[in-house]
Amino acid sequence: MNLGLMKLTISILFLLQLLLVVNVSYKSENKLATENMTENTNPITGNKLKIIVREKTFTATILDNTTAKAFLTLLPLKLNMEELNNNEKYAQLPKSVPTNASEPASVQSGDLMMYGSSTLVLFYKSFSTSYSYSKIGKIDDVTGLVSALGRDNVKVSLELEKH
Protein backbone atom coordinates (compact mmCIF):
# COMPACT_ATOMS: atom_id res chain seq x y z
CA MET A 1 0.00 0.00 0.00
CA ASN A 2 1.50 3.37 -0.91
CA LEU A 3 1.99 6.09 1.71
CA GLY A 4 -0.63 8.49 0.28
CA LEU A 5 -3.35 5.83 0.25
CA MET A 6 -2.48 4.82 3.83
CA LYS A 7 -2.77 8.43 5.04
CA LEU A 8 -6.12 8.80 3.27
CA THR A 9 -7.42 5.56 4.84
CA ILE A 10 -6.33 6.65 8.33
CA SER A 11 -7.94 10.07 7.82
CA ILE A 12 -11.23 8.50 6.72
CA LEU A 13 -11.23 6.10 9.68
CA PHE A 14 -10.54 9.00 12.05
CA LEU A 15 -13.44 11.03 10.59
CA LEU A 16 -15.81 8.06 10.84
CA GLN A 17 -14.85 7.54 14.50
CA LEU A 18 -15.37 11.27 15.17
CA LEU A 19 -18.82 11.17 13.55
CA LEU A 20 -19.75 8.19 15.69
CA VAL A 21 -18.72 10.00 18.89
CA VAL A 22 -20.64 13.15 17.87
CA ASN A 23 -23.75 11.08 17.02
CA VAL A 24 -23.72 9.25 20.39
CA SER A 25 -23.22 12.56 22.21
CA TYR A 26 -26.10 14.19 20.31
CA LYS A 27 -28.46 11.31 21.09
CA SER A 28 -27.53 11.48 24.77
CA GLU A 29 -28.11 15.26 24.95
CA ASN A 30 -31.38 14.96 23.01
CA LYS A 31 -32.63 12.26 25.40
CA LEU A 32 -31.73 14.47 28.40
CA ALA A 33 -33.52 17.47 26.86
CA THR A 34 -36.63 15.35 26.23
CA GLU A 35 -36.60 14.07 29.82
CA ASN A 36 -36.29 17.62 31.16
CA MET A 37 -39.21 18.79 29.03
CA THR A 38 -41.47 15.98 30.24
CA GLU A 39 -40.62 16.55 33.91
CA ASN A 40 -42.50 19.87 33.73
CA THR A 41 -45.93 18.23 33.49
CA ASN A 42 -46.14 16.42 36.83
CA PRO A 43 -47.27 18.20 40.01
CA ILE A 44 -45.32 17.87 43.25
CA THR A 45 -47.56 15.93 45.59
CA GLY A 46 -48.32 17.68 48.86
CA ASN A 47 -46.88 21.06 47.84
CA LYS A 48 -49.33 23.83 47.14
CA LEU A 49 -48.44 27.46 46.78
CA LYS A 50 -50.52 30.12 48.47
CA ILE A 51 -50.66 33.37 46.47
CA ILE A 52 -52.14 36.32 48.35
CA VAL A 53 -53.20 39.38 46.34
CA ARG A 54 -54.84 42.15 48.35
CA GLU A 55 -57.42 40.26 50.46
CA LYS A 56 -57.85 37.36 48.01
CA THR A 57 -55.96 34.05 48.38
CA PHE A 58 -55.32 31.70 45.48
CA THR A 59 -53.89 28.19 45.60
CA ALA A 60 -51.51 26.95 42.91
CA THR A 61 -50.29 23.47 42.09
CA ILE A 62 -46.50 23.37 41.78
CA LEU A 63 -44.86 21.27 39.08
CA ASP A 64 -42.20 18.67 39.79
CA ASN A 65 -39.23 20.18 37.96
CA THR A 66 -35.87 21.73 38.78
CA THR A 67 -37.08 25.31 38.28
CA ALA A 68 -40.09 24.90 40.57
CA LYS A 69 -38.06 23.17 43.28
CA ALA A 70 -35.46 25.97 43.25
CA PHE A 71 -38.26 28.56 43.34
CA LEU A 72 -39.77 26.90 46.43
CA THR A 73 -36.49 27.37 48.32
CA LEU A 74 -36.95 31.16 48.00
CA LEU A 75 -40.30 31.16 49.81
CA PRO A 76 -41.86 32.98 51.53
CA LEU A 77 -41.71 36.00 49.21
CA LYS A 78 -43.38 39.39 49.15
CA LEU A 79 -43.05 40.90 45.69
CA ASN A 80 -44.14 44.11 44.03
CA MET A 81 -45.36 42.72 40.73
CA GLU A 82 -45.42 45.10 37.79
CA GLU A 83 -48.11 45.22 35.12
CA LEU A 84 -47.21 44.23 31.55
CA ASN A 85 -49.33 44.08 28.39
CA ASN A 86 -52.67 43.96 30.24
CA ASN A 87 -52.28 40.18 30.67
CA GLU A 88 -49.48 39.52 33.17
CA LYS A 89 -47.68 40.66 36.30
CA TYR A 90 -43.95 40.16 36.74
CA ALA A 91 -41.27 40.65 39.40
CA GLN A 92 -37.56 40.09 39.79
CA LEU A 93 -36.69 37.34 42.26
CA PRO A 94 -33.98 37.98 44.85
CA LYS A 95 -31.95 35.12 43.35
CA SER A 96 -31.74 33.35 39.98
CA VAL A 97 -33.06 29.80 39.63
CA PRO A 98 -32.09 27.11 37.11
CA THR A 99 -34.41 27.06 34.11
CA ASN A 100 -35.44 24.80 31.26
CA ALA A 101 -37.32 27.19 29.01
CA SER A 102 -39.56 26.12 26.17
CA GLU A 103 -41.97 27.94 23.90
CA PRO A 104 -45.50 27.02 25.02
CA ALA A 105 -47.24 28.65 21.97
CA SER A 106 -49.89 29.92 24.38
CA VAL A 107 -50.21 30.70 28.05
CA GLN A 108 -53.31 30.29 30.16
CA SER A 109 -54.78 32.45 32.88
CA GLY A 110 -53.21 31.34 36.16
CA ASP A 111 -49.92 30.11 34.69
CA LEU A 112 -46.93 30.82 36.92
CA MET A 113 -43.67 30.79 34.96
CA MET A 114 -40.13 32.07 34.82
CA TYR A 115 -38.96 34.37 32.05
CA GLY A 116 -35.21 34.00 32.08
CA SER A 117 -33.67 32.87 35.33
CA SER A 118 -34.87 35.60 37.70
CA THR A 119 -38.18 37.03 36.43
CA LEU A 120 -41.33 35.48 37.89
CA VAL A 121 -44.43 35.93 35.72
CA LEU A 122 -48.05 35.43 36.75
CA PHE A 123 -50.43 35.42 33.79
CA TYR A 124 -54.01 36.51 34.34
CA LYS A 125 -55.24 36.29 30.75
CA SER A 126 -54.79 33.57 28.13
CA PHE A 127 -53.06 34.42 24.85
CA SER A 128 -50.70 33.13 22.16
CA THR A 129 -46.99 33.78 22.60
CA SER A 130 -43.68 33.24 20.85
CA TYR A 131 -41.65 33.77 24.05
CA SER A 132 -39.97 30.98 26.01
CA TYR A 133 -40.75 30.28 29.66
CA SER A 134 -39.95 27.73 32.35
CA LYS A 135 -43.12 26.44 33.97
CA ILE A 136 -43.44 26.52 37.76
CA GLY A 137 -47.12 25.86 38.33
CA LYS A 138 -50.71 26.96 37.80
CA ILE A 139 -53.38 28.56 39.94
CA ASP A 140 -56.06 25.93 40.60
CA ASP A 141 -59.07 28.27 40.37
CA VAL A 142 -58.60 31.62 38.61
CA THR A 143 -62.00 32.98 39.61
CA GLY A 144 -61.45 36.60 40.70
CA LEU A 145 -57.79 36.67 39.60
CA VAL A 146 -58.21 39.51 37.09
CA SER A 147 -60.03 41.76 39.56
CA ALA A 148 -57.63 40.94 42.42
CA LEU A 149 -54.55 41.80 40.37
CA GLY A 150 -56.10 44.95 38.92
CA ARG A 151 -54.60 47.13 36.19
CA ASP A 152 -51.61 48.52 38.09
CA ASN A 153 -48.61 47.17 39.97
CA VAL A 154 -49.61 45.04 42.95
CA LYS A 155 -48.02 43.54 46.06
CA VAL A 156 -48.19 39.75 46.07
CA SER A 157 -47.23 37.31 48.84
CA LEU A 158 -46.20 33.77 47.96
CA GLU A 159 -45.78 31.02 50.53
CA LEU A 160 -46.12 27.27 50.89
CA GLU A 161 -49.59 26.26 51.96
CA LYS A 162 -49.59 24.61 55.36
CA HIS A 163 -51.53 21.36 55.67
Going residue by residue through the chain, which has 163 residues, state the pLDDT in tens, using 9 for 90 and above: 676 777 777 767 766 575 555 554 444 444 444 344 444 467 666 679 999 999 999 999 999 999 999 999 999 999 999 999 999 999 999 999 999 999 999 999 999 999 999 999 999 999 999 999 999 999 999 999 999 999 999 999 999 987 6
Angle at CA of residue 124, ends 118 and 129, nearest 5°: 70
The pLDDT, as a whole number, for residue 14 is: 63
42-160: CATH number: 2.40.100.20
The pLDDT, as a whole number, for residue 60 is: 97
Angle at CA of residue 67, ends 66 and 70, nearest 5°: 85
